[in-house]
Structure 1
Amino acid sequence: MSSRPRFWQYVVLILLAAVFLYPIWWALSSSFKPAADIISDPLSLSGPTLDNYRAMFADVPIGTGFANTALVLLVKGAMTMFFCPLAGYAFAKYRFPGKDLLFGLVLLTLMLPTLVLIIPLLLEMSALNWVNTYQALILPGSVDAFSIFWMRQTIAAIPDELLDAGRVDGASEFAIFARVVVPVIRPGLAALAVLTTMNIYNDFVWPVVAVNDEAHQTLQVVLATLAQDITANRIGADFATVWGELLAAGSIALLPLLIIFILLQRHFINGILAGSVKG
């Protein structure tokens, strides 16, 4: 039998894509419509206008949210992408006492709901005087159990003979990791980069607890309080105005993740497939 997709499979995939993409298209297109038309005729295609974007930038500190999110993403993401592969490499290729127990404890933390950890983390940040600081936004969760597990499973598929060949050539352990392991697991690293970016970019619960001043608010916190900011900064703002600015802010917040996923889509899919098979 031919493995070539049949016509009805294309039809089903196109319909599913339309269902998933239509809300995104509607939000983007509606952000360029006059605010009144969004409520009165949400399915129409009115003439494009930038009024919603101009008003949103004037009413909401979305630039501060983007800057804080970018800083947290760069530093926290770099820490995740550096330390988690190293930890995964140690669990996958080294033998040391208590290795299985320690790895089991790492996996055990995956079963803890995020809400269970908020109060202990907040008390810890308070004891360190890190509340309303970038340290509180960056350090907790920068080395997480899922990333270690992902890297361990990906690196475990590398033949030990490659590592032994590097040791015979006189390479140090870190040189073996950097020159032998990293090039082989590049698809897995790309997948981890996409997942890490999405998790940090969309994180809301911890930032809203760790900081309560506008200077350190991340983008998701700014978006969550956007309606209150609009009504507070504009006396008499109606429902349509709030919706127009909400859609404008949401559309801007969507673009970075959309661009990153499009650029890394092939590597992300290859990494997911590579991480799902061992051997």
Structure 2
Amino acid sequence: MSRNRPGIGQYVLLTLLAIVFLYPIWWAVSSSLKPAAEIIASPLSIGELTLDNYRAMFADVPIGTGFLNTALVLLVKGGMTMVFCPLAGYAFAKYDFPFKNVLFGVVLLTLMLPTLVLIIPLLLEMSALGWVNTYQALILPGSVDAFSIFWMRQTIAAIPNELIDAGRVDGAGEFGIFYKVVLPVIRPGLAALAVLTTMNIYNDFVWPVVAVNDTEHQTLQVVLATLAQNVTGNRIGADFATVWGELLAAGSIAMLPLLVIFVLLQRHFINGILAGSVKG
């Protein structure tokens, strides 16, 4: 027990690392509460606190629309990922069917394709379907992705086959076994997948900026990317400090949802990552 107890040196090292990683977040939030001129004049000092940057940002940028669109895409697309990818992973892990290994190899091969290679074919497909500038274009592509299937397959493969056979002996159907036997066991892996999926969808920029070119369907990341242009376009004579103040205000608001989600699910997320790294 004493041999495994962290020493004071480890605590000091972890504290220093925490300060290094948390300082940029603290600086961004504290700077967003300063007058715009002070952000440039004295970036490391804390002076007068004001909400002017936030008021101006909400007036100049449709960040509320970006949040609503991102929440909708996250709810529907993330829900599809969390439903279909565990089912596909369960099939690859516990069922035998013709060409199973070939199909799983094809799924893994898609991981090697860069996102930029797929943009033009996907955009042409969306155009042929008439889905450009629609929520379908934001939600359906990538809703069942190769990494999530691979992650679930590896997680479910660690479940003993005897546990599933016991469910069949008790008279449970295949979906009943998946729901009552498999899902409770892989809950840490599902939590890790939920966090990773949320981060990927929330931070996605390349595909939304290509698939949507109207303000009605813009996601949060697209709104943030065009923030400087919107500020200078909506306010005549807006200087560099004003743009920075509103950028920091928007960035501080945008990072809050991910921080809350990670804090709430961090125990399950860490357990899921560790479970996937250990082969029992």
Normalised to the residue count of structure 2, the TM-score between the two structures is 0.99
Query: Which has the larger displacement, 167-176 or 196-205?
Result: 167-176
Alpha-carbon distance between aligned partners in 1 of 2:279 and 2:224, rounded to the nearest angstrom = 41
Kept in 2: contact 1:153–1:278 (CA 8 A): no
Give the aligned partner of residue 143 of structure 1.
Answer: 144
Matched, 1:97 2:98: yes
How far the C-alpha of 1:247 sits from its partner, in A, is: 0.2
Q: CA RMSD in A?
A: 0.7
SS in structure 1 opposite 2:216?
helix
Give the aligned partner of residue 131 of structure 2.
Answer: 130
1:201-226, CA deviations, whole angstroms, 9 ceiling, x for partnerless residues?
A: 00000000000000000000000000
How far the C-alpha of 1:17 sits from its partner, in A, is: 1.1
Matched, 1:248 2:257: no
1:142-185, CA deviations, whole angstroms, 9 ceiling, x for partnerless residues?
A: 00000000000000000111111111111110010000000000
SS in structure 2 opposite 1:213?
coil
Alpha-carbon distance between aligned partners in 1 of 2:75 and 2:111, rounded to the nearest angstrom = 24
Give the aligned partner of residue 171 of structure 1.
Answer: 172
1:214-251, CA deviations, whole angstroms, 9 ceiling, x for partnerless residues?
A: 00000000000000000000000011111000000000
Q: For this pair of structures, how many residues does the alignment match?
A: 279
Give the aligned partner of residue 14 of structure 2.
Answer: 13
How far the C-alpha of 1:134 sits from its partner, in A, is: 0.2
Alpha-carbon distance between aligned partners in 1 of 2:155 and 2:144, rounded to the nearest angstrom = 17
Query: Which has the larger displacement, 69-78 or 159-168?
Result: 159-168
How far the C-alpha of 1:8 sits from its partner, in A, is: 1.3
State the identity as a percent.
85
How far the C-alpha of 1:275 sits from its partner, in A, is: 1.2
Query: Which has the larger displacement, 15-24 or 130-139?
Result: 15-24
SS in structure 2 opposite 1:215?
coil
Give the aligned partner of residue 66 of structure 1.
Answer: 67
Letter of the 2:67 counterpart: F
The 5 A counterparts of 1:19-58 are 19-58=20-59
Point out where structure 1 has 5 or more consecutive residues left out of the alignment. none
Letter of the 1:232 counterpart: G
Kept in 2: contact 1:190–1:268 (CA 8 A): yes
Give the aligned partner of residue 224 of structure 1.
Answer: 225
1:106-165, CA deviations, whole angstroms, 9 ceiling, x for partnerless residues?
A: 000000000000000000000000000000000000000000000000000001111111
SS in structure 1 opposite 2:273?
helix
Alpha-carbon distance between aligned partners in 2 of 1:225 and 1:46, rounded to the nearest angstrom = 29
Alpha-carbon distance between aligned partners in 2 of 1:99 and 1:190, rounded to the nearest angstrom = 27
Alpha-carbon distance between aligned partners in 1 of 2:64 and 2:21, rounded to the nearest angstrom = 29
Give the aligned partner of residue 157 of structure 2.
Answer: 156
Letter of the 1:17 counterpart: A
Letter of the 2:231 counterpart: I
Query: Which has the larger displacement, 216-225 or 15-24?
Result: 15-24
Alpha-carbon distance between aligned partners in 1 of 2:279 and 2:89, rounded to the nearest angstrom = 14
SS in structure 2 opposite 1:254?
helix
Structure 1 residue runs of 4+, over 6 Å off? none
Matched, 1:273 2:274: yes
